[in-house]
Amino acid sequence: MAAAPVAGAIRGLYRQLLGAYGPQGWWPVPSQGGYHPGDYDTPRAPAARFEVIMGAVLTQNTAWTNAAAALESLRAARVRLPSALLGLSHARLARLIRSSGYFNEKAKKLLVTAGFFSRRGALGRAAAPSREALLALWGIGPETADSILLYAFQEPVFVVDAYTRRVLDRIGLIEGQESYDEIQRIFHAAIRPNAPVYNEYHALIVEHAKRHCASRPRCEGCPVKRCRYRDGPPAGRP
């Protein structure tokens, strides 16, 4: 598909999803009431910003409810800033985040990430790290790095996840083998840098995937107008 039609389809999909589901209020900050529809300046305080950073690590390979439970355990232990997290032993940190799964590995990732932000000495919005610096950290891949940049620091970078890949594949905008960066470039080319829109769009894709575009599609009532799965998957595809 040519670049112009793809860009138009990306913008059209955003309008369809927003019209169907409304503002999603991502990223949820449990200590500040969770989701915050229409508020794109959250988090504001350093502690809330670090909570988003921890959540981006904790939600790797698990449901958000499990990550949120781990965040609540950390908050109960008064762990809200890098210095407090670095004051924990690996063993105790792993116990606190057990609900998130892969807790020993994630404890190491959190300690590495906390050390990085502790050395920077600031967690203000203007102190956003570079994407390259985040990707250089052990255990931080593109999706986690971009989640930190977009949701903790309001940097205009689009987050690509498995839901994004699934939705775009099913509506025929990708073939399914594209890299993370290739898919991200599709969104960046279609929509000028805009953190609130990127925030909302990613959250809407997740909501749509949960309601309709699951691993086994639930097409009845789907708000997406053009989808090659509407009448069943193409031959040879799940």
What local confidence, expressed as pLDDT, does residue 231 receive?
Answer: 55
Residue 86 identity: L
Report pTM.
0.94
Mean per-residue pLDDT for 108-127? Answer: 92
pLDDT in tens, 212-237: 999 999 999 999 988 887 655 555 55
pLDDT in tens, 95-109: 999 999 999 999 999
What local confidence, expressed as pLDDT, does residue 232 receive?
Answer: 58
pLDDT in tens, 55-87: 999 999 999 999 999 999 999 999 999 999 999
Burial (CB count <10 Å: 0-12, 13-18, 19+), residue 66 = middle
What the chain holds in terms of domains, given with CATH numbers, is 1-41+159-238 (1.10.1670.10), 45-153 (1.10.340.30)
pLDDT in tens, 129-174: 999 999 999 999 999 999 999 999 999 999 999 999 999 999 999 9
Residue 221 identity: G
- Specify the 3-state DSSP secondary structure of 3: helix
**Residue that wins the pLDDT comparison between 159 and 5:** 159
Residues 93/110, Cβ–Cβ less than 8 Å:
yes
Q: Which of 66, 73, 110 is nearest to 95 (CA)?
A: 73
- Does residue 116 surpass a pLDDT of 70? yes
What local confidence, expressed as pLDDT, does residue 237 receive?
Answer: 53
- Does residue 124 surpass a pLDDT of 70? yes
Q: Which two tokens stand for residue 236?
A: 């040879």
